[in-house]
Structure 1
Amino acid sequence: MLSRYTKDYVEEIIKSVMNTVKIDLEIRPDHSGINMSYNFIGHYIGIDFERLLSAWEENEAPISLESYIKVLTIHELGHAIDRLALLESLERTIEIFRAKNSYVLSEIYNNRDLLSMLVEEHEMNIKFEETAWINAEHLNLEFNFIDHSSFKLVKRHSLESYRTLYLEDLKLYEILLESQGEKTA
Structure 2
Amino acid sequence: MSKRIEKKRIRKLIENTIKTVQMKVPTGIQRTGVNMSYDYIEDRVYVDCERVTKAHSEMKAPVLLEEYIKTLTIHELGHAIDRDSLLSSMNRMIEIAKLKRKHAFIERREKLELFSVDIEAHEMDIEFEKTAWNNARLLNKKYHVVSEEVFDQIEAHSMSSYMNFYEKDLITYKRLVAAERMKERPIETIEITGQIPV
- Give yes or no for TM over 0.5: yes
1:35-114 aligned within 5 A: 35-114=35-114
Counterpart CA distance in 1 for 2:37 and 2:62 is 23
Closer, same or farther in 2 for the Cα pair 1:173/1:182, shift >3 Å?
farther
- Matched with 2:138 is 138
Which 4+ runs in 1 deviate beyond 4 A?
Answer: 1-5
- Matched with 1:127 is 127
- The Cα shift of 1:152 comes to 0.4
Counterpart CA distance in 2 for 1:168 and 1:74 is 28
Q: Secondary structure at the match of 1:25?
A: coil
- Matched with 2:30 is 30
Percentage of matched positions with identical amino acids: 39
Question: Match for 1:120: what amino acid?
Answer: E
Counterpart CA distance in 2 for 1:154 and 1:2 is 26
TM-score of the superposed pair, with normalisation by structure 1: 0.94
- The Cα shift of 1:2 comes to 8.8
Counterpart CA distance in 2 for 1:17 and 1:50 is 19
1:162-177 aligned within 5 A: 162-177=162-177
Counterpart CA distance in 2 for 1:73 and 1:29 is 13
Closer, same or farther in 2 for the Cα pair 1:140/1:108, shift >3 Å?
same
- Matched with 1:178 is 178
- The Cα shift of 1:3 comes to 5.8
Counterpart CA distance in 1 for 2:89 and 2:39 is 13
Give yes or no for contact 1:2–1:53 (8 Å, CA) kept in 2.
Answer: no
- The Cα shift of 1:5 comes to 6.4
Query: 8-17 vs 21-30, which deviates more?
Result: 21-30
TM-score of the superposed pair, with normalisation by structure 2: 0.88
- Matched with 2:194 is none
Closer, same or farther in 2 for the Cα pair 1:57/1:2, shift >3 Å?
farther
Q: Secondary structure at the match of 1:38?
A: strand
- List alignment gaps of at least 5 residues for structure 2: 184-198
Counterpart CA distance in 2 for 1:115 and 1:139 is 36
**What is the alpha-carbon root mean square deviation over aligned residues?**
1.7
Counterpart CA distance in 1 for 2:65 and 2:45 is 18
Query: 43-52 vs 174-183, which deviates more?
Result: 174-183
Counterpart CA distance in 2 for 1:134 and 1:68 is 17
Q: Secondary structure at the match of 2:181?
A: coil
Question: Match for 2:118: what amino acid?
Answer: L
**Greater Rg over alpha carbons, structure:** 2
Superposed CA offset, 1:124-171 (max 9, x none): 000000000000000000000111111000000000111111111111
How many residues matched? 183
Counterpart CA distance in 2 for 1:5 and 1:133 is 29
Superposed CA offset, 1:71-129 (max 9, x none): 00000000000000111111111110111111111111111111101101100000000
